[in-house]
Structures are given as structure tokens and as C-alpha cells.
Amino acid sequence: MNIKKIYVIILILVLVLFLSLSALSKCSSTAAGNNTAEPGEEEDTVEDESGDGAAGDRNGTGTGAEKDYQIAYFQVGSEESSMHFEHRVAKIIAIRPDGSDENVIYTDLNEKYDLSRIYGVSPDSSKISCGFYEGGRGAYGTLSVIDVITGEMKAVKEFDYTDSESMEMMANIYGRHVWSNDSKNIAYETVINPYADNFSDGGISVNNINTGDISEINVNMEEFSLENEVFLDPVLFSADDGQLFNILRTRNPKMEEGVVLDYFTRNEKLVTVDISSGVASEILDISQFDGMEASFDNFNLFTQQNKIVFHVLGDFEEDGDIWICDSNGSNLTRLTDDAELREQQPSILDMPDSSGLITYVGVGRYGTIASNFNAGNIYIMNMDGSGKVEIDHEVDASKPIFSPDGRYVAFIGYVFDEALENIQSRQIVVYDNQSGEIRVVVSGPGIFNLIGWIEAVK
């Protein structure tokens, strides 16, 4: 064997040895990595198939930590041990979509004042905002937050005039409030003399629910006409929480033969306000929606696409539709156009990609009880208006809300008396987006309202 052949054989042997050692090293590293896991970690990575909509973060991506969700609803009844008027007692109750694990999260049974307003669930599904009020004289009110896991209640903003001579509420939160996207802040408008004829705007505040710090926004509204009394009611935080979207309401007199009989407010504009500078900019004006005495409301924000979804309603039997536009007001588009329905109450499933879903109520335009109570059938569609699905429940329904993982739509159903004049009972209902099943989760005369989806109480 010559020298050249010997060198070739040696080179081949060295190469084989190198590849073998490399493969052995990779196998050892993989085994070592697997051995560092705690017992049970492998089971935790398996996608939940229980049907309770537990997997995924609040935007329905399935990429965040697994969460389990329940439906929260508001129930009002009476108990002998209650010290409230006529032994009234209010409860916030959580229940799973299959009707199991019903539990009371909070009750005002031992509270001095009435739990009488439920505002909404925080974006991270961990808290419910609400209000306590002194029912007889209206001299006390709060904005409070309830932790859904611990049941702990914290008063964030208090209005207490029980020791004043007039015993009247001199200031209060006007309308609704809105959660920031990071679930740390609540924005609201204050009204001065809320129960008097001379009530007026008290400004917008942003309250940090963890520290209790309150920031007053100095709104610059010089560009807007202030012929009527104006109120700014926050409805949305911007995607980065740096701005507030607000409904601009005007207070207008009801006149008859030159005499002011009463006053009414109307949603005239959608306005953004920079939280730091207070600079205000007009986004939408109600005059853009021609042909009826319209008002707009129920604003929702697709955070990734920066698009706003809302409804526009005319007076009573006039039309109503779901609209969408960019967050600066451009690309205004009507998504629904059924002349027989007043489409309203949109709620969204905010996805982190280019998709997104909208659910809403279609109320029949025929002057019946459904129109009076703003109830009808529930619909689901894509954010561009395509792929419409009708949920035809056995009773008129209202207030649809997506579960954070997108598995279900919860809504409230109304059972009327024989004369179709009064609500006899209410249902909490869920629609399964995967199977198409409709299930009445709970029903009864004491159910007052659907609150939304919360993190499940373990």
C-alpha cells in the first residue's frame, strides 16, 4: 500500500470519528435539557380540550399562558339578613359555560351601601369595576374594583356627602368609565351637581387602581364650538394607552312655546385627547351619517389594526348599523345594511394578527317589544363584514360578548310575559363557535345583567 492511500484512509477515519463524537454530544445535551424539567411540565403544554375555552391569552392567540374563563353575571334578590331597603341583596356570580362551578364572587349583603352599578371587566379578565351608592338620598357613591380571584373589593374613588347639610350628591362619575389596555388605570368623567338642573362637566380623570394616584386631564377644546353645554365621556384608551377616545355630548333644551320643559344630551362627536398634553382632536361627527336624527355609541378598538367599531342608531324606528373606521376617522365604512334590522351593541374579538371578529345584535324594525328592549338575534361576522353567522336563539337576546379565547359568545336572553310588555325572566346563554351549540347556562327572575368573561376562580 503506497503512502498516498494510507493518508486517504487516515483522513476518512478521522472524519468518521469527528462525526460520531458530534452526534453523541448532541444526544447528551438533549437528554440533559429534558431532565431539568419539573414533573408535570410536559402535561401543562398539552392544548386544553375540555371545552371550557381555557387555552390561550385574552386575544385568543393560544400563545400565552393557559387561562380558564367563567361568565360573570349580576343578580339582585332579597335575603332576610340583609339590612338594605326591603332586604335587597346584590351578588356577582361566576359560572362555567357548561353551567357548572357556580360561585358567588362578591355580595353587598354586609355592605353599608348598595352595589348598584356594574361597569365592566378589565382587559386581563382579573377585575370587575362597579359602583356603590346610598339609595335613599344619593349622598354617597364610589368607583370600586373587585378582584375576581380573591373577592377583595377596593374603593378607587369615593364621593361621600352623607355628613353635608344638603345631604345631596355634589359630584359623581358621569356615564361609564373605561379601562386602560394594561388594566392598570381607569378613566372617567366627573359631573358637578348630577341630580340638579344646573349640572355641569367636572373634567376627565385617570385613576391608577394600584397606587390610587389620580391625574386630571387639562383638555384643550378651543377648536370646538361651545354653544351648548359640553361633556366629554371617555369610551376607549388608544392602543398605546397614551390617548383617550371620548364621546362629546351636548346638553340641549326641550322647548315648547318658548318654555324649557327639560334637557337632553346627544352624542355629537368622537374626540381624542392626548393624556399628557390635553390636546383634543375631532375624529368623527354625527353629521357624517345623513338621513336621520342619529347618535353613535358602543365603541370598540381593534388594537393591532387601529380600527374602531361602533354602532349608529336613529330614533326608535329609524335605521341602525355597525360601522368601522381607522382610529383617525378615515376609511369610514358601513358593515351592515339590513333595512329590516337595527344593528347595534357591537363587541369584538381583538386578535393580534390581521383577523378579528365582531358580534352584534340585530333588532327587528317592527315596533314591538324587541325594539323597546333593544333585543333580537345575535350575529357574528369578520371585521370586514364578511362571513356573517346568525345565532337564532329561542328568545330575544342582547349584549353579546366574546370569551377572551374566542371559543364562545355569551349573551343575555329575555323571557317576556304573555302580553309581551314586561321582562319576566332573564337567561345567560352561550354559543359555541366550534360546535354551533347554543346552551342556556342559567336563568331566573333575579338575573339582572351579564357582566362579561373573567378569569376562572379555582
Q: What is the pLDDT of residues 102-151, one digit of tens each?
A: 999 999 999 999 998 888 999 999 999 999 988 767 789 999 999 999 99
**Structural domain range at position 22:** 3-34
Distance CA 411, CA 128 (A): 18
Dihedral of alpha carbons 88, 92, 95, 97, sign:
positive
Is 99 a domain residue?
A: no
Is 109 a domain residue?
A: no
Looking at residue 10, its pLDDT comes to 40
Is 255 a domain residue?
A: no
Distance CA 451, CA 71 (A): 8
Identify the weakest region by mean pLDDT among 4-13, 152-161, 222-231, 445-454.
4-13
Share of the chain above pLDDT 90, in %: 52
Residues 6+ apart with CB under 8 A from 156: 129, 142, 143, 144, 145, 186, 207, 209, 212
pLDDT: is 294 or 344 the higher one?
344
Is 22 a domain residue?
A: yes
Task: Say yes or no to pLDDT of 394 above 90.
Answer: no
Is 9 a domain residue?
A: yes
Looking at residue 446, its pLDDT comes to 92
Is 20 a domain residue?
A: yes
Asked whether the beta carbons of 124 and 58 are under 8 A apart, the reply is: yes
Share of the chain above pLDDT 70, in %: 79
Other Cβ atoms within 10 Å of 449 Cβ, number: 16
26 — pLDDT class (breaks 50, 70, 90): very low
| Bridge partner residues of 160 (DSSP) | 140
pLDDT in tens, 45-77: 223 333 333 323 333 433 334 678 999 999 999
Distance CA 383, CA 387 (A): 9
Residues 6+ apart with CB under 8 A from 339: 319, 365
Task: Say yes or no to pLDDT of 397 above 50.
Answer: yes
User: Looking up cell 381624542, which residue turns up?
Assistant: 272
pLDDT in tens, 430-448: 999 999 999 999 999 999 9
Looking at residue 354, its pLDDT comes to 65
Is 13 a domain residue?
A: yes
pLDDT in tens, 172-198: 887 788 999 999 999 999 888 877 777
Is 40 a domain residue?
A: no
pTM of full prediction above 0.85:
no
Looking at residue 200, its pLDDT comes to 80
Looking at residue 352, its pLDDT comes to 75
pLDDT: is 420 or 87 the higher one?
87
Looking at residue 1, its pLDDT comes to 47
What is the number of domains present in the chain? Answer: 1
19 — pLDDT class (breaks 50, 70, 90): very low
Instruction: Please report the beta strands in 36-99, taking only residues with DSSP state E, as ranges in sequence order.
Output: 69-78, 88-95
